[in-house]
């Protein structure tokens, strides 16, 4: 594996901490120290600024978005011409600090003892340093920041100043100035301001969403601030002589028109800000209690390797912060609320990588993710019509359910978002046992996906059967290929699951649904025929080896270990067409199918495909390492599995792909969690019975984890001397342990 990380953070299991300022890693740190509470997210930027350091000052609200100003020209039908993206809001945490006439700027000021820390069980970001003034005086400056989980409209900020000598201080807390999105344009425009109330009102460009931002400042010790109107907003300004310690708490409340409140959103925002500014400690304690309860419920412990412990705890912190099914209106963006590289879009990996985490820990949140796809079905049907197809084609990238990708090779050729939705409902059924939910909320989306696939595919002239032509599979280094194995086999799966759903519906409901969707019983017969005759390319020499597409085995080979680290990410250093010329693959493709249906894979199939495709994968996608780790574990390659796991858990912490500064890879963080259960614990949840076959990697002393399955809570503990599976809550469960059918009722040593 040619890639390696750049480690600069302290290694501690339950927090990330930067000791000493690493200016060259400034933008990476902004991503790593990001905070979210699902409603909004704030990057870990410096309130006071740092001239000369790379930065992306980002404050985002889930679902607040806009469309590009103009179409991208095309003369071809069916290609999306205008993208949409998450809007960067306003800089509501900006601070200007002067001491004895000298302005604080970490790019030019002298300072020492710099540290910033984010404890995962608290969710509060802290930063401090000693500012060394030119006149010889010293001021200790401390910042604290949190996003409330209970009062999720609130972002709280605390500034503390300490000095043993008298220092003349001028401090300005600024609220306002829309931040730039997509280069040099701000898509949020001020509509009104009420400075006395500390309220600013904005509207998004071309989507007409309103955002109400209110702030309130509280000075401990009775210090009063003067509010002044400034360009783009207002500032709370304070001047005083610091002789010991001064503490100021600022609260910012953000409310949008998406909240559909019964009260005036302006008044609500002002009230929340006022409350937050005087309840910093109380809200911080509530956050700590919530995060601690989350970790306690997971019960996840990995002992013996501090790097992996920290990496996994970080992944879980960001997952819980980013999505809990709060509103039911949003999906899980691939970057969460930590950056703008993916425009805030959700991708097909929501159902394949993220959904399992929630299925095994928070089924309510899992249902919210699936209901999002049901709610956006009309827009998926609209996309299918643009592609001259029936049914529904779900977007490769979206915020509101519309296709947000203007690159036709992704938006038009990748069918895995649609098959991923079907798999999401299927996997929900398998892990929860709640088939009624699937029938009620999944039947219509699943039918429409199957109708789309039926019209998108076709029969080969040489009699090979049904297949999909001119597609791009999960490996995005191969464009316009025929019979991509993953696409074909997932198409067959979608047909078969659709037929199962239709047969489970009462006849009257089935007929009504078919009529409403412009379908008929003959369409179901056509799906049955297409599934039975689906062409799946395999090696002529080894039938266990699946060919990624019709011509993959013919491609020239490239030695991926010969590519220098400096050339990553390849998209930024290689010409675009160069990516398509060899057998190098971006991320798991055939292996992705093996992962989704692990319970059905023989050792021969897993071994043949892992041995062939693993050396050809460059892991240009953050989704890649965990899948390789899980499959390596499945075939007994335990050392390789552990190596890939470390790669996955620390992909962002150590910036393996040179792109952490653009935002975190949330779907990859979810995959790191799956790595423990599906890899080391040998969990299989895609079949009719829960399967488990755990082992202990050599690098660990032990590990333990809790998870939910069909209404039961189970706990697995794996150590050097003993492995136990316990039913913590719920009725006895029949499952398959180490290949043998067993009933779990209490604690079982395995």
Residue 3 binned pLDDT confidence (cut-offs 50, 70, 90): low
pLDDT reported for residue 1: 47
User: Phi-psi region for residue 260, left (φ > 0), alpha (ψ -120 to 50) or beta?
Assistant: left
Full 3-state SS string of 298-345: HCCEEECCHHHHHHHHHHHHHHHHHCCCCCCCCCCCCCCCCCCCCCCC
Enter the CATH code of domain 41-296. 2.70.98.40
How large is the average pLDDT for residues 291-315?
95
Enter the CATH code of domain 300-688. 1.50.10.10
Residue 2 binned pLDDT confidence (cut-offs 50, 70, 90): low
Fold category of 689-750 in CATH: Maltose phosphorylase, domain 3 (2.60.420)
User: Phi-psi region for residue 663, left (φ > 0), alpha (ψ -120 to 50) or beta?
Assistant: left
Q: Is the pLDDT of residue 671 over 80?
A: yes
pLDDT tens for each residue of 22-59: 999 999 999 999 999 999 999 999 999 999 999 999 99
Burial 610-648 (b: 16+ CB within 10 A, else e): bebbbebbbbbbbbbbbbbbbbbbbbebbebbbbbbbbb
Adjacent-strand bridge partners of 216: 251
CA distances to 118, 124, 355, 428 from 299, in Å: 20, 21, 19, 22
Global pTM reads 0.96
Cβ pair 86, 60 in contact under 8 A: yes
Q: Is the pLDDT of residue 701 over 90?
A: yes
Full 3-state SS string of 497-556: HHHHHHHHCCHHHHHHHHHHCCCCHHHHHHHHHHHHCECCCECCCCCCCECCCCCHHHCC
Angle, in degrees to the nearest 10, between helices 507-516 and 521-532: 90
Give the residue among 614, 618, 610, 617 at the shortest CA–CA distance from 635: 610
Cβ pair 161, 320 in contact under 8 A: no
Adjacent-strand bridge partners of 737: 692, 740
Question: What residues have CB less than 8 Å from 515, skipping those under 6 apart?
Answer: none
- Least confident piece of the model among 415-419, 482-486, 619-623: 619-623
Q: Is the pLDDT of residue 576 over 80?
A: yes
pLDDT tens for each residue of 500-518: 999 999 999 999 999 999 9
pLDDT tens for each residue of 365-386: 999 999 999 999 999 999 999 9
Full 3-state SS string of 475-492: CCCCCCECCCHHHHHHHH
pLDDT reported for residue 365: 96
Strand order in the sheet with 740-744: 690-692, 733-737, 740-744
Give the helix ranges, DSSP H, for 2-78.
26-32
pLDDT tens for each residue of 68-82: 999 988 878 899 999
Indicate the domain borders of the chain.
41-296, 300-688, 689-750
Task: Say what the alpha-carbon torsion angle 619, 621, 626, 627 is, to the nearest 10 degrees.
Answer: -80
Residue 314 binned pLDDT confidence (cut-offs 50, 70, 90): very high
pLDDT tens for each residue of 206-246: 999 999 999 999 999 888 899 999 999 999 999 999 999 99
Q: Is the pLDDT of residue 89 over 50?
A: yes
Residue 572 binned pLDDT confidence (cut-offs 50, 70, 90): confident
How large is the average pLDDT for residues 388-410?
96
CA distance 362 to 434: 14
- The H or E element containing residue 284 is helix 280-298
Q: What are phi and psi of 92, to 5 degrees?
A: -100, 10
Residue 622 binned pLDDT confidence (cut-offs 50, 70, 90): confident
pLDDT tens for each residue of 239-284: 999 999 999 999 999 999 999 899 999 999 999 999 999 999 999 9
Cβ pair 54, 27 in contact under 8 A: yes
Q: Is the pLDDT of residue 464 over 90?
A: yes
Average pLDDT, the chain: 96
pLDDT reported for residue 748: 94
CA distances to 68, 103, 165, 167, 733 from 100, in Å: 46, 9, 11, 6, 70
């Amino acid at each position: 594996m040619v890639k390696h990380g750049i480690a600069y953070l302290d290694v501690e299991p339950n927090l990330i901490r930067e000791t000493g300022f690493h200016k060259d890693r400034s933008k990476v740190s902004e991503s790593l120290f990001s905070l979210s509470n699902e409603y909004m997210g704030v990057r870990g930027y410096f309130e006071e600024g740092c001239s000369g350091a790379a930065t992306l000052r980002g404050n985002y609200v889930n679902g607040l978005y806009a469309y590009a100003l103009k179409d991208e020209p095309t003369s071809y039908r069916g290609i999306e011409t205008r993208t949409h993206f998450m809007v960067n809001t306003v800089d509501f945490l900006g601070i200007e600090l002067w001491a004895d006439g000298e302005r604080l700027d970490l790019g030019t000021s002298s300072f020492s003892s710099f540290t910033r820390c984010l404890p995962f069980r608290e969710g509060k970001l802290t930063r401090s340093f000693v500012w060394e003034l030119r006149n010889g005086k010293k001021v200790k400056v401390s910042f604290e920041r949190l996003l409330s989980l209970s009062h999720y409209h609130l972002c709280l900020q605390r500034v503390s100043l300490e000095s043993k000598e008298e220092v003349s201080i001028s401090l300005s807390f600024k609220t306002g100035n829309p931040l730039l999105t997509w280069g040099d344009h701000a898509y949020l425009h001020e509509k009104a301001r009420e400075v006395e109330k500390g309220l600013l009102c904005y509207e998004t460009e071309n989507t007409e969403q309103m955002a109400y931002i209110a702030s309130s400042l509280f000075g401990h010790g009775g210090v009063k601030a003067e509010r002044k109107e400034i360009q783009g907003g207002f500032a709370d300004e304070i001047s005083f002589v610091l002789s010991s310690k001064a503490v100021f708490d600022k609260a910012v409340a953000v409310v949008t028109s998406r909240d559909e409140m019964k009260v005036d959103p302006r008044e609500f925002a002002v009230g929340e800000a006022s409350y937050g500014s005087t309840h910093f400690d109380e809200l911080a304690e509530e956050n700590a209690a919530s995060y601690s309860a989350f970790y306690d419920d997971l019960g996840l412990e990995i002992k013996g390797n501090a790097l992996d412990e920290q990496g996994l705890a970080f992944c879980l912190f960001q997952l819980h912060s980013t999505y809990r099914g709060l509103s039911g209106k949003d999906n899980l963006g691939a970057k969460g609320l930590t950056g703008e590289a993916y425009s805030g879009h959700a991708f097909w990996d929501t159902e394949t990588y993220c959904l399992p985490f929630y299925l095994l820990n928070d089924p309510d949140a899992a249902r919210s993710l699936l209901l999002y796809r049901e709610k956006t079905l009309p827009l998926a049907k609209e996309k299918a019509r643009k592609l001259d197809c029936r049914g529904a084609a779900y977007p490769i990238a979206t915020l509101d359910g519309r296709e947000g990708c203007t690159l036709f090779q992704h938006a038009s050729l990748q069918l895995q978002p649609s098959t991923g939705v079907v798999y999401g409902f299927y996997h929900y059924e398998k892990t929860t046992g709640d088939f009624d939910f699937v029938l009620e909320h999944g039947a219509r989306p699943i039918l429409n996906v199957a109708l789309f696939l039926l019209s998108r595919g076709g029969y080969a002239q040489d009699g090979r059967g049904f297949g999909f032509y001119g597609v791009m599979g999960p490996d995005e280094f191969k464009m316009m290929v025929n019979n991509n194995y993953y696409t074909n086999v997932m198409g067959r799966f979608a047909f078969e699951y659709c037929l199962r759903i239709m047969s489970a519906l009462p006849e009257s409901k089935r007929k009504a649904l078919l009529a409403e969707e412009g379908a008929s019983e003959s369409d179901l017969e056509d799906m049955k025929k297409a599934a039975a005759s689906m062409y799946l390319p395999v090696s002529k020499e080894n039938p266990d080896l699946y060919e990624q597409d019709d011509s993959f085995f013919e491609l020239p080979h490239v030695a991926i270990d010969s590519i220098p680290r400096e050339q990553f990410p390849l998209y930024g250093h290689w010409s675009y067409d160069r990516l398509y010329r060899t057998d190098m693959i971006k991320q798991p493709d055939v292996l992705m199918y093996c992962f989704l249906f692990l319970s059905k894979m023989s050792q021969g199939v897993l071994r043949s495909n892992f041995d062939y495709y693993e050396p050809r994968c460059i892991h240009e996608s953050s989704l890649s390492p965990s899948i390789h780790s899980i499959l390596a574990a499945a075939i007994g390659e335990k050392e390789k599995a552990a190596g890939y796991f470390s790669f996955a858990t620390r992909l962002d912490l150590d910036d393996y792909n040179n792109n952490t500064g653009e935002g975190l890879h949330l779907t990859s963080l979810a995959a790191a969690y799956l790595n423990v259960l599906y890899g080391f614990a040998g969990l299989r949840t895609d079949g009719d019975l829960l399967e488990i076959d755990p082992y202990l990697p050599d690098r660990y002393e032990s590990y333990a984890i809790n998870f939910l399955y069909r209404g039961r809570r189970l706990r697995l503990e794996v150590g050097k001397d003993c492995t136990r599976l316990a039913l913590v809550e719920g009725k006895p469960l029949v499952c398959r342990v180490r290949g043998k059918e067993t009933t779990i009722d209490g604690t079982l040593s395995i």
